[in-house]
């Protein structure tokens, strides 16, 4: 839709261009969220795409995803030797309700910054224990663990003027085994629950619950837990919620069901309860 209250769009080329950000001037990445939701308080956009940040950079200690990397680019992430977690990237892309045409514009950073419960890039970043580089409005840099970035339904640790610069996925996570489950009220519908499990080389198990909960929830174990323990812990999650994409009681049940499926899959893949 037209953002009728916006009076200026500024292409950003250097960090100081971000000084104009504020409560009514916000970053523009793919625009797939901004241009789909009327926010009449907005007066300006700072276009991040003109930064030309590299989309995907493989480094010695992992993968750096530029915030403006599109979901389409991420979905084509080339497989590297030993990256057992590689399938999770594409799987999380498919959890976006938007079509492959939305993938062509929507960005990873925009997805995290939007902080919807059903944000699949949040699932990915949290499941892989990614760290997020944040450019603070005051010019400082901050590194925030993905798991504490999103604080609630469409809320996060970013303040006005802050910009998410990049997502850093550690090599250990890329080498881990992963398992993924998504369920919705229709076969390819908007996510009702998206869960990802990660089994590290050292045997540690991390379960990430998203879309069913108001914010991502992570359960961490030094080794694969028993079914009973996992169920007990999933049951303690206190932020299941109801919206058009599923009722809270069903979401809780799906969390239990899919969490156990993930546990079993990773157990078969080599972990031991």
Partner 1 sequence: MTLEQAKIEETGAMTFEVNGTRVEATPAPGQCLRTLLREHEHFEVKKGCDTGDCGACTVQIDGTPVHSCIYPAHRAVGKQITTAAGLGQPGNLAPIQQRFVDASGFQCGFCTPGMIVTAAAIEADAALGVDDLPRLLKGNLCRCTGYRSISDSIVGQHTPPDGSCHTAPGHEHAEASSLGPVRATGRTRGARGAGLVGTSPGAIAGERVVSGLEPYTLDVAIPGLLHLAVLGSPHAHARIRSLNVAKAAALPGVHRVFTHADSPTTLFSTARHESRFDDPDDTLVFDQTLRFRGQRVAAVVADSVAIAEAACRLIDVEYELRDAVFDPRLAGAPGAPLVHGDKDPVVSRLADPTRNLVAELHGEFGSVDEGLEMATTIVSGRWQTQRIAHTHLETHATMGWLSGDRLVLRTSSQVPFLVQKEICRLFDLDPAGVRVFTARVGGGFGGKQELLTEDLVTLAVLSTGRPVQYEFTRTDEFTITPVRHPMTIDVTVGAQGDGRLTALKLGVLADTGAYGNHAPGVMFHGTSESVALYNVPNKRVDAQSVYTNNPPSGAFRGYGLGQVIFAIECALDELARELGVDPFELRRLNSVRPGDPLVVTHEEGPDLIFGSYGLDQCLDLAEAALKRGNRAVVPVGLQWRVGTGMASSMIATTPPRGHRSQASVQLVAGGRYLVRVGTTEFGNGTTTVHAQIAATALHTSVDRIDLLHSDTDSAGYDSGAFGSAGVVVAGKAVLAAATALAETLVEVASAWSGHGLTRGTDTGTWQLEHDGLRAVESESELVSLDTLMHWATANDVGLTAVRREDGALRSLAFNVHAFRVAVNTATGEVRILQSVQAADAGFVVNPEQCRGQIEGGVAQALGTALFEEVVLDGAGAVTTRVLRNYHVPQLVDLPVTEVYFAQSHDVLGPYGAKSMSESTYNPVAPALANAIRDAIGIRPTELPMSPDRIWRLLHG
Contact positions vs ligand FAD (CB under 6 A): 26-34, 36, 48, 67, 96-98, 102, 105-107, 109-111, 113-114, 116, 118-120, 158, 163-164, 190-191
Task: Kindly identify the residues of this chain, within the stretch 177-196, that bind partner 1 according to CB under 8 A.
Answer: 183, 185-190, 192
CB 138 within 8 A of CB 163: no
Tell me how far, at minimum, the Cβ of 240 lies from ligand FAD, in Å. 18
Q: Structure tokens of 207?
A: 């379960």
- At 125, which helix (H) or strand (E)? helix 120-127
Burial class (CB in 10 A: 0-12, 13-18, 19+), 154: middle
Burial 76-113 (b: 16+ CB within 10 A, else e): ebeeeeebbbeebbebbbebbebeeebbebbbbbbbbb
Cα(127)–Cα(146) distance, integer angstroms: 9
Tell me how far, at minimum, the Cβ of 62 lies from ligand FAD, in Å. 19
Tell me how far, at minimum, the Cβ of 223 lies from ligand FAD, in Å. 32
Q: Nearest to ligand FAD by Cβ — which residue?
A: 110
Taking CB under 8 A as the criterion, the residue among 17, 24, 49, 148 binding partner 1 is 49
Taking CB under 8 A as the criterion, the residue among 12, 26, 45, 71 binding partner 1 is 45
Q: Structure tokens of 21?
A: 């950000």
Residue 77, SS3 per DSSP: coil
Tell me how far, at minimum, the Cβ of 218 lies from ligand FAD, in Å. 18
Site string for partner 1, 198-237 (x = CB under 8 A): ----------------------------------------
Task: Kindly identify the residues of this chain, within the stretch 1-30, that bind partner 1 according to CB under 8 A.
Answer: 1-9, 11, 13, 28
Taking CB under 8 A as the criterion, the residue among 31, 57, 144, 204 binding partner 1 is 31
CB-nearer residue toward partner 1: 170 or 189: 189
Taking CB under 8 A as the criterion, the residue among 16, 81, 99, 236 binding partner 1 is 99
Cα(159)–Cα(136) distance, integer angstroms: 8
Q: Which does 235 bind (CB under 5 to 8 A by kind): partner 1, ligand FAD, none?
A: none
Burial class (CB in 10 A: 0-12, 13-18, 19+), 173: buried
- For position 245 contacting partner 1 by CB under 8 A, the verdict is yes
Q: Which does 186 bind (CB under 5 to 8 A by kind): partner 1, ligand FAD, none?
A: partner 1
Residue 157, SS3 per DSSP: coil
Q: Alpha carbon of 77 to those of 103, 172, 230: distances in Å? A: 13, 17, 32
Round to the nearest angstrom and report the end-to-end CA distance of the chain.
51
Q: Which does 79 bind (CB under 5 to 8 A by kind): partner 1, ligand FAD, none?
A: none
- Strands across the sheet containing 217-221: 177-184, 191-199, 205-210, 217-221
Interface with partner 1 (CB under 8 A) = 1-9, 11, 13, 28, 31-32, 35-37, 40, 42, 44-45, 47, 49, 94, 97-102, 104-105, 183, 185-190, 192, 243-247, 249-251, 253-254, 257
């Amino acid at each position: 839709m037209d953002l009728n209250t916006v009076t200026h769009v500024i292409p950003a080329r250097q960090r100081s261009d971000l000084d104009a950000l504020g409560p009514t001037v916000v970053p523009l990445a793919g625009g797939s969220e901004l241009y789909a939701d009327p926010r009449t308080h907005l007066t300006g956009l700072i276009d991040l795409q003109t930064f030309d940040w590299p989309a995907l950079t493989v480094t010695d200690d992992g993968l750096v995803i530029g915030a403006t990397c599109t979901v389409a680019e991420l979905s084509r992430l080339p497989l590297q030797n030993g990256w057992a977690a590689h399938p999770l990237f594409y799987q999380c892309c498919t959890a976006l309700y938007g079509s492959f045409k939305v993938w062509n514009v929507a960005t990873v950073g925009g997805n995290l910054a939007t902080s919807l419960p059903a944000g699949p890039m949040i699932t990915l970043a949290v499941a892989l224990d990614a760290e997020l580089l944040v450019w603070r409005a005051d010019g400082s840099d901050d590194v925030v663990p993905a798991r504490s970035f999103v604080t609630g339904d469409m809320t996060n640790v970013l303040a006005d003027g802050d910009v998410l610069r990049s997502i850093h996925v550690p090599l250990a996570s890329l080498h881990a085994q992963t398992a993924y489950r998504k369920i919705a009220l229709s076969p390819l519908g908007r996510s009702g629950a998206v869960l990802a499990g990660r089994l590290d080389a050292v045997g540690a198990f991390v379960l990430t619950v998203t879309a069913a909960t108001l914010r991502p929830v992570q359960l961490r174990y030094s080794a694969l837990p028993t079914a009973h323990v996992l169920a007990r812990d999933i049951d303690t999650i206190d932020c299941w919620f109801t919206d058009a994409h599923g009722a809270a009681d069903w979401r809780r049940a799906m969390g239990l069901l899919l969490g156990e499926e993930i546990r079993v899959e990773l157990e078969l893949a080599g972990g031991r309860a």
